[in-house]
Amino acid sequence: AQTVTQSQPEMSVQEAETVTLSCTYDTSESDYYLFWYKQPPSRQMILVIRQEAYKQQNATENRFSVNFQKAAKSFSLKISDSQLGDAAMYFCAYNSYNFNKFYFGSGTKLNVKP
């Protein structure tokens, strides 16, 4: 089974600074999809960014970008110009190309200091 590991239970960043959240995964598949979801205290998960494994180019969405290292099975999230509204739990997730079943990491709690 696929596993997703987020080794940073909690991180803090100063407003307007940059922070990187780490994620590694284990799989024997060659095609798959990776996601970062944000979960604020309201509990409603929101998609931040996604990456197709066959694409070498790293995905970007405004202030959010990823560093996808397929050989290392690493998928980190970089948040630039951090804002107070970025404070939340962030989950890394893996979805198989052939099976529609998300595997989530245990999450990283991001604190943003004013």
Partner 1 sequence: GAGVSQTPSNKVTEKGKYVELRCDPISGHTALYWYRQSLGQGPEFLIYFQGTGAADDSGLPNDRFFAVRPEGSVSTLKIQRTERGDSAVYLCASSSSGTPYNEQFFGPGTRLTVL
Cα 112 to Cα 74: distance, rounded to the nearest angstrom: 24
Let me know how long the chain is.
114
Q: How far is the CB of 101 from partner 1 (least distance, A)?
A: 5
Any idea which residue has 């943003």 for tokens? 112
The pattern of x and - marking residues 59 through 88 that bind partner 1 according to CB under 8 A reads ------------------------------
* Three-point CA angle 70, 73, 76, nearest 5°: 95
Cα 74 to Cα 104: distance, rounded to the nearest angstrom: 14
Asked if 52 interacts with partner 1 (CB under 8 A), we say: yes
Bridge pairing between strands 19-21 and 74-79: antiparallel
Q: How far is the CB of 15 from partner 1 (least distance, A)?
A: 26
Comparing CB distances to partner 1, the nearer of 97 and 113 is 97
* Three-point CA angle 64, 19, 81, nearest 5°: 60
Q: How far is the CB of 8 from partner 1 (least distance, A)?
A: 13
Determine the straight-line distance between the first and last CA of the chain, rounded to whole angstroms: 41
Asked if 19 interacts with partner 1 (CB under 8 A), we say: no
Asked if 102 interacts with partner 1 (CB under 8 A), we say: yes
Number of residues that bind partner 1 (CB under 8 A): 28
Chain residues that interact with partner 1, rule: CB under 8 A: 4, 6, 32-33, 37, 42-47, 50, 52, 91, 93, 95-107
